[in-house]
Amino acid sequence: MAPNLERIRKTAYRVLESPKMTVVMPYAPERGNWFDIVVYPKPEHEEAFLKAITGLKPGGPSKDYPGAVGTVRVTLTSKGDLAVLQIAQSHFKKGNGAGFLSPTLARKYSGWRQRALEHLIRTIVMENGYKLFISKAVIRDLPYRSVEDMAKTAPIEGEIRKAAKLAGAKHEEGEFTYEISRG
């Protein structure tokens, strides 16, 4: 179910609306805790996203935020100024039939993760001075994926680079990690 944006605006959350989607994230996440950035579809697509979660494994953020496009979860370490990306997960599978989101509608929301990452980088890295740490193993879900599945991570890696650039942040890629900091 889509969030009550008027109620959320009166709490400690940022609501970033665009013609395509709405991003909801906390204003001041607490050090030592995790938080979620949740992307919601336009109201006219909410029902399709609610139906699409039936095609997913039970549990996870799709259970916490039914009807959302996807969730980015981040942990702020209790020591230092390090933020760690935990997940960047869609709440749907693309396909035809029950439990899937139509390819046409999925394409309309294909930029959800980049938009969420960009807002994360602007808020946590650029405004608050954290360094964002992203493990390639988290992105690729290694060693559990096949070579074919690993090839699908290339768009995610491109989204990370583009989000950092759009936010004006410095992006460094190591053998096992991405690190994003103030430029």
Tokens read off for 95? 């396909």
* Bridge partners (DSSP) listed for residue 40: 22
Residue with more model confidence, 78 or 2: 78
Look at residue 26 in the predicted model and tell me its pLDDT. Answer: 74
Query: DSSP characters for the chain?
Result: ----HHHHHTTTEEEEE-SSEEEEEESSPPTT-EEEEEEEE-GGGHHHHHHHGGGSPSSSHHHHSTT-SEEEEEEE-SSSSEEEEEEEEES--BSSSTTSB-HHHHHHTTTHHHHHHHHHIIIIIIIT-PEEEEEHHHHHTTTSS-HHHHHTTHHHHHHHHHHHHHHTEEEEE-SSEEEEEE-
Which range has highest mean pLDDT (31-35, 89-93, 150-154, 176-180)?
176-180
Look at residue 18 in the predicted model and tell me its pLDDT. Answer: 80
pLDDT confidence of 107, banded at 50, 70, 90? very high
What is the reported pTM?
0.83
End-to-end CA gap in the chain:
38
pLDDT, tens digit (0-9, with 9 covering 90-100), for 51-75: 988 878 877 788 888 889 999 999 9
Smallest CA-to-CA distance from 22 within 10, 4, 34 is with 4
pLDDT confidence of 152, banded at 50, 70, 90? low
